[in-house]
Structure 1
Amino acid sequence: MELHLFLYLAALFASAYAVKVLTSAIKVPEVTGYVLLGVILGISVIRLLNEEILTALSPLSTVALGIIAFLIGSELRFDVIRRLGMSILSIVVLECLAAFGVVFAGVYLIIGADLNTSLLLAAVASATAPAATVAVIRQYKAKGTLTSTILAVVGIDDAVALIIYVFVEGFVAANLTGATLSGGHMLGKAVLSLLMAGGIGLVAGFLYVAVLRRVKNNDWITLLLAAAIFGLLGISEILHVSELLSIMVFGMIVANASPVLSKKSEGILGSLTPIFLAAFFILGGAHLNLGLISRIGLLGLVYFAARALGKIGGATLGAIIGRAPKKIRGLIGLSLLPQVGVALALALAISKQFTNPRFGPAGHDLATVIINVLLFTTIITEIIGPLLTRFALGKAGEIHSHDQDTK
């Protein structure tokens, strides 16, 4: 298979080029086209990208998440966050909690799913993946108050969602084994995970700036930037902490400690971003198994609808409470639906955790249900989400590219 891996990559990127031409012509976000292309090339249709190939190409998705995390972190400038004020915090907290609450109520009360399944689905629902949103913002060169707010929200969202997940995971694990776990223990575990992820990003950021502050040659910056991102990905995996959070903190430190170096770093990654983003979304779409749709049924539909309601409603309420500008109150929620990346990472963590023999058949069945629901619903969110994000940015007047539709 290794002998032909480059041919698969050639086919993938040639197809991505065709999709980019087509989506540009019909004025649709290219992310949507990439996901649909992945579904066609993947395990459900022509199977060019089968399970073996997807496993071999999975490092591309990991690197893409690292690049996305750095780009988000570079937008988290303290002066911008101060200007936006408390509205950011209220939006993040309420959209996460509302998604959790509405999904739990829908799955547990309406569908009648068991408590463990309902809690884990609700926990994963609180996460918002930044990849699709960042891709749309970059495609349409969006800039403005709404754009800055969106980037800040999807960046901080990861930390809040992680806290929720750690609590729920501990409760469900204790519930399945009959053990007792104190709230203090779960809180300590969540805080430790966040501090470790943020700490390694913090150290890497200051070291990066200290070494490169006076360097003008982009070749030197490119080498150390690659070392930092790959290093953080590896260390985060070894420590079992969020690589998104660690690299986001790294990007934030660089942006605030040395804006000039941050701009150069963004420019370097800008030339690589189209390659990795295309691969990320195509490979994500390729994982969808259409044969599982009948098994997911009503559970998947209720999960999707409840999560959308919680995200949009919670973000809107948070913007109102935080006294955000009018256009943010009416549009911010539309940009928070995508979930591929963070949610799938949590789903894989659930699968790894609860398929452990100590949880028995109940744990295995629980993991199977969770990952099947998320594989189906993430495809929907990656198709609809970019369209809604583009609509929101256009409505706010923050799209500044030739692809902008007449409003």
Structure 2
Amino acid sequence: MNDTLVAFAVLAWLAYLASRLLARHHLPELVAFLIVGALLGPSGPPAINLIDEPSLIALRPVTEVALAVLMFVIGERVSVRALRAARWTLTTGVVQFALSAVAVFWVTSRLGADRPVALVLGALAGAGAPMTIAHIVSSVRARGSYPTGIVGTHAVSDALATTTFAAVLPIAVVLSDEAADVGGAVLDFVQLGIGGAVLGLLGGWFISRLGFQIETSGELLLFVLVHIVIGWTIAGWLDISLPLAALVAGATAATVSPQAFSVRLFRTIKTIEQPLYLLFFALAGASIHLSDVPKVGLVGVAYIVVRVAAKIVGGLGGGLVGGLGWRRSLRLGVNLTPQAGVAVGLAVIASERLGDPGAEAATVVLGAVVLFELVGPLLVARDLRGWSSSEDENGAAPEEFELPHRVLVAAPVPVELPEWLIDQAARWRSSLVVLMPGERDEPHAVKIGELCGSRDVDFEFRSLRNESFTGAVVRSRSQHHADLVVLFSQRPPTGASRLVLLPSERIARQLPVPVLNFPLSPDIVDEADEAPRQRRLPWQGTGRGE
């Protein structure tokens, strides 16, 4: 085992160095992970073979857990909120999947493929590569609903592929010449298609209900990882599709959780996203069998060509139906061509359940995956590089943001809040929680209450007593479930070199919600041991002489 870990450490180090070299040439680092893994894996040149088959088998549990964590994160892209924000994600996912499945089945059947082989190829043709696309979106820093929607479309494709494969597997068994167990194939359908969804629903709901009570990010991350490992164990016992279960769990947690907690939950998990991408894709590259590419034959070539054509046509049709716009819809199909992960896992299942027909279908799929994974990311990165949220087909804002329901306003000294802030809260129909020194009946609190009352804004005053300002803000944000935090705090001295973070900077790092800071001039903020008194903000004058 020690030799396996040392070999993986060397593989990861070389993959990271290669990714940095490719990044200088504006190429996605994912390609470096795959190439280095393929060269150093069992199918690479014998002279530099580093990872052998036994090592891959020994590291499989680590790879599967990494896959589950990444699929859980991707589940956020197919939550009810995400699908509402980008309606074309669902329509495109369904249209291109159906077109790919039907077209590949029909063409491969016409070219002489056996019915069981054509059924498996049709079911797997629509599968995508959500983790590949998510990593590319992150690496090229693409922003907006279009890149996010592409990841969601791939996730929808994988969910449909898993359930469709589970449904056609018993039919393929009946049509196969192999003397297979039909009852076992039906059980596979229940386990793959239904068991994964049920496990994901229960797991996502459980994480949402209990995780909401956890305050620190480190504990929340530990909580999620522990339960994903438990889910991996249950999936192994019951032969449930782990990728589908993790995807459904992420979508469920993002849907049933309050918006603020959902943002915090997935932001916390994403802190370990990059190491998991390197781990998963480096080992995935080592699992690639380059020798499978020449074996695909005429059926394999037809699979590749028809799948690409169906993705482009389906992306165009689904995008137009979903209101994306014809220009983006036309380019969308190319971004749907990468394939990995779920397709590979299902192809292996087919080879185990169907004998020779399954092995033939698996050879075609695995050979095509090598091509789609090495070429597809380059095309996607080229299309998405430089994409920002300001770009939109119709010139409208591409993303929909929920307005804050509750705003926490905090200051370490008593201040008069600007009227524009209260006016904005009235436009948002948000309630205000004000945290600052003093009591509810003191003049500054009374004036804030009068302004809020005149604008019909719900107002609650919380007294800041003898405790850390940072700790009080973090605790109050969690206690009142604020969606936005507005601070009035000290600004750093001009030109000063600082080794210690200001309270506003520490707060912004700890909170999962947006934090706006309006700095006060140094002469407005008293020393900590000075009795607090009412202060005016910079736009209200210096306040001297009061």
Q: TM-score per shorter chain, which class?
A: 0.7 to 0.9
Which residue matches 1:12? 11
- Contact 1:101–1:122 (Cα < 8 Å) also in 2: yes
Q: Deviations over 1:116-137 (max 9, x none)?
A: 2122112111211212111111
Which residue matches 1:276? 276
1:379 maps onto 2:378 in alignment:
no
Which residue matches 2:106? 105
Shift of 1:327: 4.4
Shift of 1:157: 1.8
Q: Distance in 2 between matches of 1:32 and 1:399?
A: 28
- Measured at CA, do residues 82 and 11 of structure 1 come closer, stay the same or move farther in structure 2, by a change above 3 Å? same
- Contact 1:287–1:375 (Cα < 8 Å) also in 2: no
Which residue matches 1:149? 149
- Contact 2:311–2:333 (Cα < 8 Å) also in 1: yes
Runs of 5+ in structure 1 lacking a partner? 355-362, 401-407
Runs of 5+ in structure 2 lacking a partner? 392-546
Which residue matches 2:78? 76
Q: Distance in 2 between matches of 1:260 and 1:138?
A: 22
Shift of 1:142: 2.1
- Map 1:300-315 → 2, pairs under 5 A: 300-315=300-315
- Map 1:23-102 → 2, pairs under 5 A: 23-44=22-43, 45=45, 46-85=48-87, 87-102=88-103
- The sequence identity of aligned pairs, in percent, is 25
Which residue matches 1:265? 265
Residue identity matched to 2:57: T
Shift of 1:348: 1.3
- Structure whose alpha-carbon radius of gyration is higher: 2
- Contact 1:61–1:279 (Cα < 8 Å) also in 2: yes
- Contact 2:34–2:281 (Cα < 8 Å) also in 1: yes
- Determine helix, strand or coil for the equivalent of 1:215: coil
Q: Distance in 1 between matches of 2:140 and 2:335?
A: 14
Which residue matches 1:403? none
Q: Deviations over 1:95-143 (max 9, x none)?
A: 1111112222332223x22222122112111211212111111212322
Size of the aligned set, in residue pairs, is 385
Shift of 1:145: 2.0
- Contact 1:205–1:251 (Cα < 8 Å) also in 2: yes
- Contact 2:22–2:32 (Cα < 8 Å) also in 1: yes
- Contact 2:104–2:122 (Cα < 8 Å) also in 1: yes
Q: Distance in 1 between matches of 2:24 and 2:387?
A: 23
Shift of 1:26: 0.9
Q: 4+ residue stretches of structure 1 with deviation over 4 A?
A: 177-182, 188-193, 395-400
Which residue matches 1:126? 126
Which residue matches 1:296? 296
Q: Distance in 1 between matches of 2:247 and 2:288?
A: 28
Q: Deviations over 1:129-186 (max 9, x none)?
A: 212111111212322121232122122222221232123211110112699999xx97
Q: Distance in 2 between matches of 1:139 and 1:290?
A: 26
Which residue matches 2:239? 240
Q: Distance in 1 between matches of 2:86 and 2:127?
A: 22
Structure with bigger strand share is: 2
Q: Distance in 2 between matches of 1:399 and 1:105?
A: 42
Residue identity matched to 1:196: G
Q: Distance in 1 between matches of 2:70 and 2:327?
A: 25
- Contact 1:31–1:383 (Cα < 8 Å) also in 2: no
- Measured at CA, do residues 48 and 157 of structure 1 come closer, stay the same or move farther in structure 2, by a change above 3 Å? same
Residue identity matched to 1:80: A
- Determine helix, strand or coil for the equivalent of 1:49: coil
Shift of 1:221: 0.9
Residue identity matched to 2:206: L
Q: Distance in 1 between matches of 2:157 and 2:36?
A: 28
- Contact 1:35–1:379 (Cα < 8 Å) also in 2: no
- Measured at CA, do residues 192 and 233 of structure 1 come closer, stay the same or move farther in structure 2, by a change above 3 Å? closer
- Contact 2:207–2:253 (Cα < 8 Å) also in 1: yes
- Contact 2:115–2:175 (Cα < 8 Å) also in 1: no
Residue identity matched to 1:336: L
